[in-house]
Structure 1
């Protein structure tokens, strides 16, 4: 889970001119589910970006989420078929030949003091892209499950919190008008860890029977329940068309109680299989889902849960194998 950058994405004239010269390649949505990986860099012992690319390829990773314009990684991704969800700050990016599918404005800013500025920044960036003839990029943002009144509740009882409902209503109207998805960070481990009441099998996609029944909907796993809670909250503010994408999810392999390499492997491999099955959720069956596993590497400048969410150690050895697709 990346911490939001200090400034909120003020797009200067120089940024507009820079982006106008970008060569963005159209990524035509296949309508198929996809799972990528987050590439965060809150560590000072990571391998050079050019050495990371072969790890993407050997693991079958075809999409990556960058939290900020990382010039070295964007250079490494040039002329590949890996699609990029790019987080932006007030830096300038000027890279060619990278398939940028999403620009994500802000991470976990709603609710919060910067929430009033998120939509304006998105609209300005979307208008700028449109003026320069770039129509292949969706502009969106990432929210936490904290936009809801309660994170763990039967979906039918979900509402946006009083501190987020107005911001979310306006944001969703914009996304609906453009056909853009909303990105959300969904961590069943955090709910499992915090409540102490959730069966491990339910959190890890291994429950043989439904654990939660909500009217006519039955839930075999916690992630589907959390995603459907957000869908219900969206419906309650009149939005039924906006789709969700999972910006982050994962399970720590060390650092806190309930974290182990074995459990992390079970969660992430089952999560990938669940997304690629195209089953969707009980309330959105057969709806293709895009998702990103957090994180590519363990990060030595973090602590606890978020230091140990990596699929690889910084020496490039796998913490455990996850196959995202055909290698």
Structure 2
């Protein structure tokens, strides 16, 4: 063999000996529990504009899947926990996978069987349904000739494992048997282990948790663990899972982060600055390919940020911040600058959003508000007023602005129905934006076109309300000057 051939062989040998660097792909969770839903096609355009190639759904929403057809975006669909005991796996595959997948269709790569079904708070109610559901669904995928392409996973909360230091990580004792079955199934079908990690919740739920340990800029309270030292909660949490998987005999199992993020409102510590610092730190950490002490040079396979959009209809049982995880607001507008390392220096906003007319419902400036309590309670029980609570972006409003915020939230929820701003004469529609500082009084969006006949009516209605508003304002000023 000539010298050129020897050099080529040596080069190939060196390439084989060098560890393969795997760069994490960054996707988003697309939740749809919102009072104000954009068109699914608008959301998909938003994903494409930001070069986001992976998205995770919490169900098999047909409108979302239709919008994703032909987009080239890889999709994870979900089966809610409540369905695990009753769903027909063959029917599920036919209705939610086979009809959408294929050339020019939706690129469905994963099915999430349940969502955090082993969560301590569920008291084990879903425990016995997960593995049977997995096995039945796998058989249905085999019958549909999709098992080699569509992989089954079970997103787990980080409370499934525990330890004082990462290297001693293990699954909760009551989960050992089912986790052994689950991880064996995942390994035999080339599926990853999916875990949701939330340093914000660790900080929110523990007053003694070091704040800087939740982020990625280093910590004044690092965690020593034998030869390793942990400077952020993500690495510590991730390696605790690595250790737990190793104890079951699967030290190299691929890991996907199903959810991770930081809320921007609704609690102390939930704000735009903290969310930007956390998410940008996370992205930079992942793209560095540094990995973690137990998996150096091997970051997670995929990471799905939580979440894409705010979801104003989510339950606030865990906390008011639940409605404010979006990197984008409910109308697809970026809340802060974030470089995803995908060729774009910042985020691009959604285009062609169908807004309702620019008008708001506020507390009438000349009415006595002593009887407003019931109206305020009703408005906030149906609409979203979480930003008014402690730590929220609207928590510093005065009493009358609080009332206006509640009235407007309800008014927009009712698609600006004129009667919904009455409140026994205590409300008034205005064209003047009542937003104060960082507290935004929203205008709703719709997933439907405003018809050509409705638009002129909306314009004349706005003009009418402007005139009324100006007249009331003028009368109020005259009264005050007297």
Aligned residue among 109, 113, 128 for 1:105: 113
Tell whether the 8 Å contact from 1:176 to 1:241 is kept in structure 2 after alignment.
no
Alignment of 1:238-257 (within 5 A): 238-257=249-268
Structure 1 partner of 2:286 = 275
Aligned residue among 77, 83, 99 for 1:86: 77
Greater gyration radius: 2
Aligned residue among 43, 50, 54 for 2:34: 43
Structure 1 partner of 2:229 = 218
Q: Does 1:296 align with 2:308?
A: yes
Post-superposition offset of 1:267: 0.7
Q: Does 1:157 align with 2:168?
A: yes
Aligned residue among 343, 347, 367 for 1:326: 343
Counterpart-to-counterpart distance in 1, 2:162 and 2:299:
27
Counterpart-to-counterpart distance in 2, 1:242 and 1:123:
20
Could you state the TM-score of these two structures normalised by the residue count of structure 1? Answer: 0.85
Structure 2 partner of 1:124 = 136
- Secondary structure of 2:194's counterpart equals strand
Alignment of 1:125-204 (within 5 A): 125-134=137-146, 135-149=148-162, 153-204=164-215
Could you state the TM-score of these two structures normalised by the residue count of structure 2? Answer: 0.59
Aligned residue among 60, 63, 66 for 1:69: 60
Post-superposition offset of 1:232: 0.9
Counterpart-to-counterpart distance in 2, 1:114 and 1:262:
37
Post-superposition offset of 1:210: 7.7
Aligned residue among 230, 252, 264 for 2:275: 264
The C-alpha deviation readout for 1:26-57, integer Å capped at 9, x for no partner, is xxxx9431110000111121211111122212
Return 67-76 or 90-99, whichever deviates more: 90-99
Tell whether the 8 Å contact from 2:79 to 2:115 is kept in structure 1 after alignment.
no
Tell whether the 8 Å contact from 2:199 to 2:233 is kept in structure 1 after alignment.
yes
Tell whether the 8 Å contact from 2:162 to 2:240 is kept in structure 1 after alignment.
no
Count of residues in Structure 1 that have an aligned counterpart in Structure 2 = 296
Counterpart-to-counterpart distance in 2, 1:276 and 1:122:
32
Tell whether the 8 Å contact from 1:110 to 1:167 is kept in structure 2 after alignment.
no
Tell whether the 8 Å contact from 2:112 to 2:155 is kept in structure 1 after alignment.
yes
Structure with the greater relative contact order (CA < 8 A, sep ≥ 6): 1 or 2?
Answer: 1
User: Structure 1: which 5+ runs fail to align?
Assistant: 1-29
Tell whether the 8 Å contact from 2:219 to 2:232 is kept in structure 1 after alignment.
no
Counterpart-to-counterpart distance in 2, 1:248 and 1:208:
23
The C-alpha deviation readout for 1:96-152, integer Å capped at 9, x for no partner, is 3111121111101115211111112112212222233221121111111111245xx
Counterpart-to-counterpart distance in 1, 2:232 and 2:127:
31
Higher helix share goes to which structure? 2
Aligned residue among 119, 126, 134 for 1:114: 126
Counterpart-to-counterpart distance in 1, 2:292 and 2:107:
28
Counterpart-to-counterpart distance in 2, 1:149 and 1:283:
16
Post-superposition offset of 1:252: 1.0
Post-superposition offset of 1:183: 0.6
Post-superposition offset of 1:209: 7.2
Return 91-100 or 43-52, whichever deviates more: 91-100
Counterpart-to-counterpart distance in 2, 1:234 and 1:47:
40
Counterpart-to-counterpart distance in 1, 2:237 and 2:64:
32
Return 157-166 or 33-42, whichever deviates more: 157-166
User: Structure 2: which 5+ runs fail to align?
Assistant: 1-20, 81-86, 345-482
Q: Does 1:306 align with 2:317?
A: no
Tell whether the 8 Å contact from 2:210 to 2:221 is kept in structure 1 after alignment.
no
Structure 2 partner of 1:19 = none
